[in-house]
Amino acid sequence: MKIIWTCIQWLVVAAFIVVFVFVFNSYRYLLYALICSSVLYFPLTKIIANKLSNQDGSEKVRYDVNGKRVTMQMSKLTASVILLIVVYSVVISVFSISPYLERKEFVLTHPNWVAVTPSILNLTADIQRGKNKYAYIDLEYQFTADKHSYSKKIGKAEKLYSFFPIIGKRRFEEMRIDLLNRATKKNIAKECLLFYNPNDPEQQKFFLANDNFYPQGSWLYDMLFVFSTIFSVIVIMAMLFKIIP
């Protein structure tokens, strides 16, 4: 029974990883992380081993002449996995806050795809409520390739997160209007760009904006509030304990 439960746990973890890497993000980001972590592993392996060494027997302990433990080294596999996770987190974070880099990366990895400026047929904004609150854009575009017209609807083509907690319908409406105005300006400025595969025009990739830096469109922007709040609470509590005798 214990083995079955362990297998189920690993299957759940594997499914989560597959969805996160191949559905929520591009699998190419994982390849970039693998390359970067491989390059960084050797110069950083000793630092990682010293800082993150586990205590489950997989470590190698060295002693000086007096029999005193002086260094610890965790298993190479554990160190490489931790480094890969850290690098992968950095990679997806960078691309998530920079529409320009995301578009540039797509152009470089799809040199044969054709770029066109699509016609936006419909553009609406709404609010996602619940645990994660944000404004989002739904749109429909159309373009012509080889004398054939193609159209497609995209749900949540772009999002707008709030650094501060959203309270009240007024703030929800302000976010919705702000995002709708942003998307409208991008459309008027012809900043929207569509890439399609000339061998199969049904394969398409749409980009609404080309900002160098747009953290409000990333869930990391929302997470910054959480971490900053936790950090502020820790600092305040530390100061109070220091002041109170």
Cα 183 to Cα 189: distance, rounded to the nearest angstrom: 10
Average pLDDT, consecutive stretches of 10 residues, N- to C-terminus, the chain (245 residues): 63 56 69 86 67 48 48 59 83 88 93 93 87 86 90 91 69 88 92 93 92 83 60 64 55
Predicted pLDDT of residue 192: 93
What is the CA angle 137-131-173, rounded to 5?
Answer: 45
